[in-house]
Amino acid sequence: AQTVTQSQPEMSVQEAETVTLSCTYDTSESDYYLFWYKQPPSRQMILVIRQEAYKQQNATENRFSVNFQKAAKSFSLKISDSQLGDAAMYFCAYILWGEKLTFGTGTRLTIIP
């Protein structure tokens, strides 16, 4: 079974600084998708960024970018210019096409004003 590991239960960053959240996963497949989801205090899950495993280029969405290392099975999220609204739980997730999504246990991000 696929597993997703987020080794940082909590992280904090100064406002306007950069922070990187770690995620590793275990799979024997070559074609899959990876996601980062954000869960603010409102509890609704919001998609932050997605990466297709067949793409070598790292995905970027405004201040959010990933460092996808396929051979190392690593998928970290970098948040640049951190803002107070970025405070949330962040979940890494993996899915094999046609299968169910597997989530990590999450990283709680605190933004320090």
Partner 1 sequence: DGGITQSPKYLFRKEGQNVTLSCEQNLNHDAMYWYRQDPGQGLRLIYYSQIVNDFQKGDIAEGYSVSREKKESFPLTVTSAQKNPTAFYLCASSIQTGELFFGEGSRLTVL
Please state, in angstroms and rounded to a whole number, the distance separating the CA atoms of residues 81 and 56: 25
> Binding residues for partner 1, how many (CB under 8 A)?
21
Q: Which of 28, 57, 84, 97 binds partner 1 (CB under 8 A)?
A: 97
Q: State the amino acid at position 111 in one-letter form.
A: I
Minimum distance from CB of 105 to partner 1 (Å)? 4
Q: Which of 7, 62, 105, 110 binds partner 1 (CB under 8 A)?
A: 105
Give the residue among 82, 90, 101 at the shortest CA–CA distance from 15.
Answer: 82
| Segment interacting with partner 1 (CB under 8 A) among 53-61, 65-73, 74-82, 99-107 | 99-107
Q: Which of 50, 70, 73, 78 binds partner 1 (CB under 8 A)?
A: 50
Nearest to partner 1 of 5, 83 (CB atom): 5
Residues that bind partner 1 (CB under 8 A): 33, 35, 37, 42-47, 50, 52, 91, 93, 95, 97, 100-101, 103-106
